[in-house]
Amino acid sequence: MEYRWRYQDAQGRDVTGPDVMFADQTQAEEWFGDQWRDLLDAGVEQVTLLRSESEVYGPMSLHPAS
């Protein structure tokens, strides 16, 4: 099964983001760790990790907790 990220704005509407597939959850999370600032700069406010079409977790805000 492949993993991918769903990208959303602050209202939970899907937005366009990198169409990248990962072989496992660890690869997806490592990629996200390197990319989250660029995603936020591009207008992504939250993400959900998907395995095929099932949600693994999320939505997760890209804004640091205060």
Domain extent listing, the chain = 3-61
| Average pLDDT of the residues in 52-66 | 91
| Average pLDDT of the residues in 55-62 | 96
Q: For residue range 1-53, list pLDDT tens digits in order.
A: 899 999 999 999 999 999 999 999 999 999 999 999 999 999 999 999 999 98
Give the pLDDT of residue 29: 98
Structure tokens of 13? 């509407």
66, pLDDT greater than 70: no
Give the pLDDT of residue 40: 95
* Coil, helix or strand at residue 31: helix
Distance between CA 27 and CA 60 in Å, rounded? Answer: 17
CA distances from 54 to 20, 40, 50, 58 (A): 16, 23, 5, 11
